[in-house]
Structure 1
């Protein structure tokens, strides 16, 4: 059961969200969607870009629909709030007075010390760059944790952290606002080559009769188009959070087959029937290939096994807005000084 902890928004509160400049990923899009939603609710929220390059617009063109301006500094005052993803907790140590929130967009990436360059990576590994210590959370006062997945909530509970609230995400409109297509989808298996590729290579090698297609170097619109014309999406990655690719493929009509690692192990995060979830073990390869072929051969029937998942996905934007309203509780008086 998710906790329902919130945080107060005063009349003079500003919410700051650090984000890498000019960088478009699912995670950075979510940070922009978050600020956009807060602003639509009348809350003074700002993206704070870091690693801004000379002559390059820090607002990626894909995100101009969410924000048109950004903060150039963060005011360290007790009425203000700093929301950082779990990979950037070092920002929490820079400020003494403002309220601090960690948004767990993943679990696994929190433990990854790799950074954008050699120096930054080694500063993290040597402990020079301060980071939130999940084994000793009392060392840094965090006013609230947000969790994108049940996987993250479970992880916090195991470390004795209970002051959290669920705040997930929703898909790009390219996937939700789709015209009907008349043509039958192809007998094609889609996969993300950046996630679980070693095991996926085994599946590809053991099923040369199947057509496989890697979802890479594509815009959201192109991913949506490919998914709508395919029957199956597989994902045997680590699922560090509630990943977008399975949802994007499902909402476009694909049958979904996943592993059981990370968030995929939780029904709340990937609510598909258990017969479509497999361990990424060699002895499971024949069964996985049989299930892929079953999805293709009986697609008209099998695709309805994912109707509940699609219904959940369609409701995620409304749930996202409602969760923000529940978490960020606006109080018009008194104003904290």
Structure 2
């Protein structure tokens, strides 16, 4: 599973800036800082990839939003390379079906989202992928690790991402004051609609159509953040909310089921029944009535989020058979 004999790492990456592409830019940037050559193959638009005679040639897309949005990670654009065992190609799970085209090179699948793979890749292809012991598997979440284990993958290795310093640079000393409930209206929209329709006593703060700075400002005001989504991986917004001072509730689905992904007591996990029965509303009201008590219970989550960047560095070093200098 290691990168011990790898001299170059190339990541396939969608051009649309979302949580997965940011993770890819973070890992590539970290490898370059560690002295390992790493670049990115952007997929989408008029990008062109051709494999032949033991080489992969590439023409980048003329329009690439991710390159601009993630420029702080100093991304290196792939310009072509040999298909050798010392060249590792890392594909996010949405491109898992393309593994067989990379014969001759080392290949890894990075499971940033379990659910996306089930949409983009058919079941026979996934079974063949899991049976191919030449393919490495990296997981972003304990949820993904569990999925790989249940799918018969004997060995996989952790490769996470991190919440940006824009959020983690602030050290919160207590809960935020505003009682409006922040949430992502794109994730779990049906369930969030049911909740707010049943509880007009709660004001809501949808996090949408905002710049990064606007999200920071919103999350540093709100006392409670609720994630109604399916959490196909360690989604960014709940982590950003926690480190910004909000008390976070996550749906007990996907990564929301795992303490390794969200280090919080079960009080802060809910399911659809809790929404319909009013239990989630009662828990949120309890937070509003004694925010300091419940905010203190999420210190482990905040510490977990603040340590993510160092954890990613350590994971990459471990994949290379090294560890951080004392």
The normalised TM-score by structure 1 is: 0.85
State how far apart, in whole Å, the 1-side matches of 2:108 and 2:136 are. Answer: 5
* Correspondence 1:35-46 to 2 at 5 A: 35-46=28-39
Change (3 A) 1:216 1:60: same
In the TM superposition, what whole-angstrom CA distance separates every residue of 1:199-240 from its partner, at most 9, and x where no partner exists?
111110111111101111112221111011000011121111
Residues 234 and 256 of structure 1 are in contact (CA less than 8 Å); yes or no, is this contact kept in structure 2?
A: yes
Check whether the contact 2:176–2:223 (CA below 8 A) recurs between aligned residues.
no
Taking the aligned partners of 1:185 and 1:306, their CA distance within structure 2 comes to: 16
Aligned-partner SS, 2:226: strand
Q: Aligned equivalents of 1:258 and 1:25: distance in 2? A: 20
Match for residue 23 of structure 2 among 21, 30, 33: 30
Q: Rate the CA distance shift 1:68–1:323 in 2: closer, same or farther, 3 A.
A: closer
Q: 1:49 to 1:16 in 2, by over 3 A?
A: same
Which structure 2 residues correspond to residues 51-130 of structure 1 after superposition, within 5 A?
Answer: 51-53=44-46, 55-57=62-64, 60-113=67-120
**Could you say which residue in structure 1 is the equivalent of 2:12?**
18
Q: Are the equivalent residues in 2 in contact too, given 1:241–1:262 (CA < 8 A)?
A: yes
1:169 paired residue among 161, 166, 172: 161
**CA distance 1:138–1:209, shift in 2 (3 Å):** closer
Q: CA contact under 8 A between 2:172 and 2:244: conserved in structure 1?
A: no
The aligned residue for residue 7 of structure 1 is 3
Alpha-carbon distance, 1:328 to partner: 2.5
CA distance in 1, matches of 2:201, 2:4: 58
Paired position in structure 2 for 1:266:
258
| Residues 1:244 and 2:251 aligned together | no
Gaps in structure 1 of 5+ consecutive residues: 114-123, 126-130, 331-337
Following superposition of structure 1 onto structure 2, how do residues 76-225 of structure 1 map, counting pairs within 5 Å? Answer: 76-113=83-120, 133-137=125-129, 140-178=132-170, 185-225=177-217
Structure 1 position 87, deviation (Å):
0.7
Contact 1:191 1:213 in 2 (8 A): yes
- How far off its partner does 1:138 sit? 5.8
TM-score, normalised relative to structure 2: 0.87
1-structure distance, mates of 2:172, 2:204:
24
Q: What SS does the corresponding residue of 1:135 show, helix, strand or coil? A: helix
More off after superposition, 314-323 vs 62-71: 62-71
Partner of 2:219: 227
Maintained 8 Å contact 1:228/1:253: yes
Cα drift, residue 276 of structure 1: 1.4
- String of CA shifts for 1:239-261, please: whole Å, max 9, x gaps: 11111111111000111112211
More relative contact order, 1 or 2 (CA 8 Å, 6+ apart) = 1
Find the aligned partners of 1:181 and 1:62 in 2 and give their Cα distance: 31
Q: Aligned equivalents of 2:295 and 2:174: distance in 1?
A: 16
Alignment of 1:313-328 (within 5 A): 313-328=305-320
